[in-house]
Amino acid sequence: MKRIDCLKAIYPELVDCAVVTIMGAVAAELYSLGHRANFFYLEHAMGLASSVGLGIALAQPDRKVVVIDGDGSVLMNLGGLTTLARSRPNNLVHVIFDNETLLSVGGGAPGGYKWFTTATSTGTDLAGIAKAAGFPHARTVRELDDFEAAAIDALNVDELSCIVAKVEAEMPKSFLMDIHMLENRFEFPRALQQPPRHKDRLRRPTRLTKEQPTTIPALKSREE
């Protein structure tokens, strides 16, 4: 499964969500599909994309927040998964592209060569960690159809979801992004001043996913 194909599959659904991505390949590929003002590319501070998403989700509970993360970044802030889980914003979807390598910071090479792998290459299960941290929904997908179905489900469901998408460690065609990070930083909050999309405009799930999302019993209270 290729990251770019996953991004293409969800791109139409991201119209007026708040989208926060990590640096590198994910940012460059989403940008290559067509930049929108409601996309924020966190070009540094690996691990904090989900924390930024949490701040938005809590401040604007009526807006869907989509965090597009990577295995290397998530592994730098595993505690953040527990903070997300206990805060449990029901408007946040956490997509993690897992290519088992630190591709964008020099751990990958053209042709899919993995020069510096992450622990997911030796068995660390990020969906399992998210589930154990307390995410109500967390699953791993390996096929594009399953990714698309899981993403549409997650966007429709009013609960915190995590989708770990196993993807190839492929470089983007280009890392070029013709927007300065500060331009992006200032346009993004303006986009968040626009009212969020009405739910009826969301694409509905077209088929049941093969593997139903894992649900853990509701926590007794929102905190602990």
Partner 1 sequence: MPVSVANSQVVYDAIKGVGVRMVSALPETWLVHLIRMADEDPDMTLVRLAKEEEGVGVSAGAHFAGVKSAMLMQNHGFLQAINGIVGVSLLYKIPLLMLITDRGGFGEKDPWQTEGGKHTRPVLDALHIAREDLTRPDDVEPRLAKAMTLAQSSLSPVALLLSRDLMWEEPR
Which residues form the interface with partner 1 (CB under 8 A)?
A: 18, 20, 40, 42-45, 47-60, 63, 77, 79-80, 82-83, 86-87, 181-182, 185, 188-189, 192-193, 223
Least distance CB 142 / partner 1 (angstroms): 29
In the bound state with partner 1, the residue whose beta carbon lies nearer, of 42 and 127, is 42
Output 68 or 149, the one with its CB closest to partner 1.
Answer: 68
Provide, rounded to whole angstroms, the least separation between the CB of residue 138 and partner 1.
Answer: 17
CA distances from 22 to 42, 70, 111 (A): 5, 7, 22
Pick 67 or 149: Cβ nearer partner 1: 67
- Listed in sequence order, the residues at least 6 apart from 79 whose beta carbon sits closer than 8 Å to its beta carbon are none
Residue pair 22/55 in contact by the 8 Å Cβ criterion: no
Residue 67 burial (C-beta neighbours within 10 Å; 0-12, 13-18, 19+) = buried
Where is 40: in which H helix or E strand?
strand 39-41
**Residue placing its CB nearer to partner 1 in the complex, 59 or 179:** 59
Q: Which residues contact 117 (CB under 8 A, 6 or more apart)?
A: 100, 101, 102, 107
Smallest gap from Cβ 160 to partner 1, in A, equals 14
Pairing, β 92-98 against β 161-166: parallel
Q: Between residues 122 and 223, which has the closer beta carbon with respect to partner 1?
A: 223
